[in-house]
Amino acid sequence: MLIDRRGFLVGSALALAAGPQARAQAPADTETADFISACHHAAGGYALVLLTRTGKILREIPLSARGHDIAIDRASGRAVAFARRPGFFAVAFDLAGRAEPHIFAPESGRHFFGHGAFADGGRLLLTSEHNIETGDGVIGVYDVAAGYKRIGEFPSHGVGPHEAILFADGRTLAIANGGIVTDPTTGRENIDVDGMAPSLAFVDIKTGDLRAQHMLPAEINMLSIRHIAANAKGEVWFGGQWQGGLESSPELVGNAGIDRPIRIFEPVEPMGTALKGYIGSVAMSRDGRVLAASAPRAGRIVYVDTETGALRAETALADGCGLAPISDDMFALSSGLGALRTERPGETPLFATTVSGTEFDNHLRLIG
């Protein structure tokens, strides 16, 4: 598969132009979108959907290919959605629909890894990227006011950076380096899985300097660190994806801090194999006491007590992956089968519905 960066951009522009105009408009003043997610329509085509807690779609932004995560700057009302890796386009848009979406791309020789974060008061966008020639991970830096012009980059200090989150200090970026070398000319093919080197890196965005880096033990080096969430204490919790045989899957959730190495969550009953070796996303409760981790291949969501490290609860949701914290003890969940529900760990869901004809992608983001 040849990489056609221009083709991706042209295709995205055509998708926007051909999208349903009624849903491209701003929602009525009486209705407010609560969540946003990338999705696939059962009838065909990809899109971003902004929807209420009851599953009503208020606005839709067509995409030319599958989307992944969405970065949100709530202060300005801006958001950016990224293509699934290897991604060659991103779509910036106004959450209130006051301006037309804007499409941009990484520079030649780079591709997106599906995630990004706003920084510097919303003036910059930081994106996880791949240097295709060297195989190194980089963090691209984009000037928002200049139409998301790429103005630089700094190393992710690892290979295959995926989710990256900015600490409350506005300066420290936590980066989940998945550790897998990929060849985008073949799509999503992984290379040298045995030689993987996943890590959590903490980087100063002002200088690009590495503040700390924590590697996984050699015996579980095939656990790709993909998705992360942090609490106010500076703990970063992660969910991994095992690249070895399922029968040998280790536990998939762990945490670390700038001054504390990685510690793997060890439940009373082993769960790595039961969760099919795959965590699709993670989310931290507002008070930082509960981590939710989704295992879509196993159809399960697990809730971990971050104070004790104990398994607090788990719930079943077929192909459930998207997670969004909406209070100190409540989460919203979405699935690839169109399910949308709200629940507290260990309790009967407070609300559940199915959005007909909509297959939600991996990530669900809270707008408000």
Mind listing the pLDDT tens digit of every residue in the chain (368 residues)?
334 444 444 454 445 545 544 344 444 457 899 999 999 999 999 999 999 999 999 999 999 999 999 999 999 999 999 999 888 899 999 999 888 999 999 999 999 999 999 999 999 999 999 999 998 999 999 999 999 999 999 999 999 999 999 999 999 999 999 998 776 666 666 666 778 899 999 999 999 999 999 999 999 999 999 999 999 889 999 999 999 999 999 999 999 999 999 999 999 889 999 999 999 999 999 999 999 999 999 999 999 999 988 999 999 999 999 999 999 989 999 999 999 999 999 999 999 999 999 999 999 999 98
Output the pTM of the full model.
Answer: 0.91
The C-alpha atoms of residue 332 and residue 340 are separated, in whole angstroms, by 7
Looking up residue 134, the CATH number of its domain turns out to be: 2.130.10.10
Two structure tokens written together for 33: 């979108």
Rounded Cα distance between 125 and 143, Å, is 7
Token pair, residue 89, equals 């386009």
Residues facing 293 on adjacent strands: 282, 302
367: left (phi over 0), alpha (psi -120 to 50) or beta: alpha
Partnered with residue 343 across adjacent β-strands are 331
Q: What's the domain range around 230?
A: 5-366
CA distances from 280 to 121, 196, 343 (A): 29, 19, 18
The total of structural domains in the chain comes to: 1
Helix ranges, the chain (H): 5-18, 21-24
Report the C-alpha gap between 89 and 125 in whole angstroms: 14
Could you tell me the two tokens for 211? 């503040």
